[in-house]
């Protein structure tokens, strides 16, 4: 079970106190056996620290937007994998094929030149390269698809390995851009 977002959209019930209260409620579910694991989504390191101050049940996962093209998004971003790992929190990218990206870039991780050029070396699709890039970094990829052929392709990423150069090019890419942005209540600061 996850807390989907670290603050309320309307500005009420935001901040450290409320994050800690929400986490305590999730811990009660876990302790009663209603949840096997609990975690968060969209949390930056500061927001994670807020709940770790009082947590008695480990934070299992932080589900974040992360994909080829994000590079480093800045101090209020959720892309601090090393920090999450140092706290024992699984860093789990959602929308690894850029579901929330702004159009027309939203197909770039599937049919874009960067990933399709790399994929042509292995007879793989751009989507498979984008997913392999995540998995090869030790991150679980959880792409969404309702099309049978895409589901099969999403699983067919374990019979090839990207070279160091093929890993570094997607890591350095700055497109497609990050979708969304800070919470409307955050205004560029962590509340």
Q: Please indicate, yes or no, if residue 190 is contained in any of the structural domains.
A: no
pLDDT higher than threshold 90 for residue 66: no
Q: Please indicate, yes or no, if residue 104 is contained in any of the structural domains.
A: yes
Q: Using one digit for the tens of pLDDT, what is the confidence trace for 97-125?
A: 876 565 655 677 788 899 999 999 999 99
pLDDT higher than threshold 60 for residue 86: yes
Q: In the chain, which residue ranges form alpha helices assigned H by DSSP?
A: 16-31, 45-52, 81-86, 108-111, 113-122, 126-136, 148-155, 164-172
Query: Within 13 A of 78's CA, how many CA atoms are on the CB side?
Result: 27
The pLDDT of 71-92, averaged and rounded, is: 75
The average confidence (pLDDT) of the chain is: 83
What is the sign, positive or negative, of the torsion defined by CA atoms of 119, 99, 26, 86? positive
Q: Please indicate, yes or no, if residue 121 is contained in any of the structural domains.
A: yes
**pTM for the whole thing?**
0.80
Comparing C-alpha atoms, which of 98, 104, 103 is closest to residue 173?
98
Q: What is the pLDDT of residue 98?
A: 75
Higher-pLDDT residue of 130 and 13 is 130
Q: What is the pLDDT of residue 126?
A: 93
The pLDDT of 10-36, averaged and rounded, is: 88
Residue 40: which domain range? 2-172
Comparing C-alpha atoms, which of 174, 113, 160, 101 is closest to residue 132?
160
pLDDT higher than threshold 50 for residue 76: no
- 68: domain CATH number is 3.20.20.100
Q: Please indicate, yes or no, if residue 66 is contained in any of the structural domains.
A: yes
The pLDDT of 153-157, averaged and rounded, is: 94
Q: Count the domains in the chain.
A: 1
Q: Please indicate, yes or no, if residue 110 is contained in any of the structural domains.
A: yes
Q: Using one digit for the tens of pLDDT, what is the confidence trace for 45-54?
A: 899 999 999 9
Q: Please indicate, yes or no, if residue 90 is contained in any of the structural domains.
A: yes
pLDDT higher than threshold 90 for residue 28: yes
Contact 70, 100 (CB under 8 A): no
Q: What is the pLDDT of residue 58?
A: 96
């Amino acid at each position: 079970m996850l807390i989907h977002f670290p603050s309320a959209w309307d500005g009420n019930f935001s901040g450290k106190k409320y994050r800690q209260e929400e986490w305590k409620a999730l811990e009660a579910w876990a302790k009663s056996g209603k949840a096997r694991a609990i975690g968060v989504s969209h949390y930056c390191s500061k927001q994670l620290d807020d709940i770790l101050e009082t947590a008695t049940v480990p934070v299992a996962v932080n589900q974040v937007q992360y994909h080829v093209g994000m590079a480093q998004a800045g101090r209020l971003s959720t892309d601090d994998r090393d920090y999450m790992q140092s706290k024992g929190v699984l860093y789990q990218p959602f929308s690894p094929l850029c579901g929330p990206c702004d159009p027309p870039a939203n197909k770039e991780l599937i049919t874009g030149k960067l990933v399709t050029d790399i994929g042509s070396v292995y007879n793989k699709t751009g989507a498979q390269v984008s997913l392999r890039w995540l998995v090869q970094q030790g991150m679980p990829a959880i792409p969404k698809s309702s099309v049978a052929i895409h589901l099969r392709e999403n699983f067919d990423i374990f019979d090839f390995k990207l070279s160091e150069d093929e890993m570094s090019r997607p890591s350095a890419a700055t497109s497609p851009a990050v979708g969304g942005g800070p919470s409307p209540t955050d205004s560029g600061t962590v509340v």
